[in-house]
Amino acid sequence: MAAEPVIIDAATFLRSPITITAESVEIEGKTIAPGRGWLRRLAPEGWTQRISAAGTEGVSRSAAVSALASIARDDRFTWLTELDALGGAENKPYQYRRAAAAGVPVPEWIVTTDTGAVPQEGDWVAKPLGPGAFVDEQGNGRVVPTKLVDTTDRTVIAQVPFILQRLVDSRTHARVVTIGSTVRSAKLPAASLPLDWRTSSAGHYGFIADSAPDHVHELAQAAAASTNVNYSSQDWIEDSEGQWWFIDLNPAGQWLFLPEDVASPITHAIARHLDGF
C-alpha cells in the first residue's frame, strides 16, 4: 500500500508540532518516510508581502522557512525538482538564456533601468521581473499584467527593473506541461483576448483539448531540461505566421484549469513519479 502523501509548507511549521533530527523528520507525531516528493513552494502566498524584519511575525516566518529548507536539502528525500533548480528556474532572464542556448525560440528581450538602452524600434511588452502580484500600502492585492509599452517614452523605464520583450503577434496560446518525459498541452485561441490572457476569466476557461505540435512538445522538454526542472508549466505563443515562441516557464505552475482530458494525465504522471514509477 502506498504511503499517505504529506503536504506541508512553511506555514505548517508554525501551527503543527514538528521534530527534525539527524535520524528522522516528524510532523504531528508521524515520521516522514524517506522517498520521493515534490517541492512546489516553500511558503504560502502572502508570506512575501512587506513585514518588519525585526518583528515577531517576520522572525517566525524566517525560522519556519529555514526549518522547511532543511528538509528540502535532506538527501533522504528525492524531489521532483531539486530546491536549487526550482529557485533558479523562477528567474526569467536565466530561463531565457538557458532555453535559447538549447535551441528553443525565445522572443528578443532586455532588462534595463538605463533610458538610453530602451529599444526604439518595434513593439515591446513589459513583464515583471520580480513577483507578479503584491499588496499595496492600503492592503489591496494587485496583479502586474504583461502590457504593451510605448518605448519612445523614455520614462517607461524607472528605477525598478522590468523585462522588455518583443511583442509576438499571437494567433494561439498554449499551456505546455512537462513531467519528466511526459508532455501534455492545450490551446487557447487568442482572438478577442487581452494581451495577457490571465487577466480575463475567458482565458482561464477557454482552453481546448487540442495539443500543440510535436516539435513544440520537444522544445518544451528542451526548455525544462535546460533549467534542470522535472516539472514545468510553460506558456507558448503561435504567431500570425505559424511560428511558435517560448514565453516563459513556471517550475510550480498550474494545470488543473486545463480541460479534463489534458489535466488528468498530468495529475496521474505526477502521482506515478511520487509513487516511484
Q: How much is the pLDDT for 59?
A: 85
Please give the Cα distance from 136 to 134 (Å, whole number): 6
Region 182-200: mean pLDDT is 88
For residue 93, pLDDT over 60 is answered with yes
The whole-number pLDDT of residue 41 equals 82
What's the rounded mean pLDDT across residues 117-126? 87
State which amino acid sits at residue 126.
Answer: A
Render 163-210 in DSSP notation, one character per residue: EEEEPP-EEEEEEEEEETTEEEEEEEE-TT--SSGGG-HHHHH--BS-
Q: Count CA atoms within 13 Å of residue 9 on its CB side.
A: 10
Average pLDDT (19-35) is 89
Rounded (to 5) percent helix, strand, coil in the chain: 30, 25, 45
Burial class (CB in 10 A: 0-12, 13-18, 19+), 189: middle
Q: What is the pLDDT of residue 2?
A: 52
* Amino acid 114: pLDDT: 85
User: What span, in angstroms and rounded, lies between the C-alpha atoms of 210 and 232?
Assistant: 19
Alpha helices (H) along the chain: 12-15, 56-72, 83-89, 92-101, 201-205, 214-226, 260-274
Share of the chain above pLDDT 70, in %: 87
135 band by pLDDT with thresholds 50, 70 and 90:
very low
Burial of residue 111 (CB within 10 Å: 0-12, 13-18, 19+) is middle
**CA–CA separation, 28 and 181 (whole Å):** 35
At 151 the pLDDT is: 75
Phi-psi region of 71 (alpha: psi -120 to 50; beta: other; left: phi over 0): alpha
What is the predicted pLDDT for the residue at 250? 93
Q: List, for residues 137-149, the tens digit of each pLDDT value.
A: 445 544 456 777 7
Reading phi first (left if > 0) and then psi (alpha if -120 to 50, else beta), residue 102 is in alpha
Cα 122 from Cα 150, distance rounded (Å): 10
- Which comes out higher in pLDDT, residue 62 or 45? 62
User: How many C-beta atoms surround the C-beta of residue 152 within 10 A?
Assistant: 10
**CA 150, CA 153: separation in Å to the nearest integer?**
6
Are the C-beta atoms of 227 and 88 separated by less than 8 Å? yes
- Asked if 216 and 176 count as a contact pair (C-beta separation under 8 A), the reply is yes
103-116 tens-digit pLDDT: 999 999 999 888 88
Q: Categorize the per-residue pLDDT at 133 as very low, low, confident or very high, splitting at 50, 70 and 90.
A: very low
Quote the pLDDT of residue 45: 72
Q: What is the pLDDT of residue 1?
A: 44
The C-alpha cell at 91 is: 528567474
Say what the pLDDT of residue 141 is.
46
Query: Which tens digit of pLDDT belongs to each residue from 72-89?
Result: 999 989 999 999 999 899
- pLDDT, one tens digit per residue, over 193-250 is 878 888 787 788 899 999 999 999 999 999 999 999 999 999 999 999 999 999 999 9
Q: What is the residue type of 173?
A: H
Distance (Å, rounded) from C-alpha 262 to C-alpha 17? 38
Name the CA dihedral angle for 75, 223, 106, 109, rounded to a multiple of 10 degrees.
0
| Residue at grid coordinates 530602451 | 118
Least confident of 35-44, 50-59, 228-237, 260-269: 50-59
- Pick from 112-121, 154-163, 257-266: least confident: 154-163
pLDDT(54) > 70: no
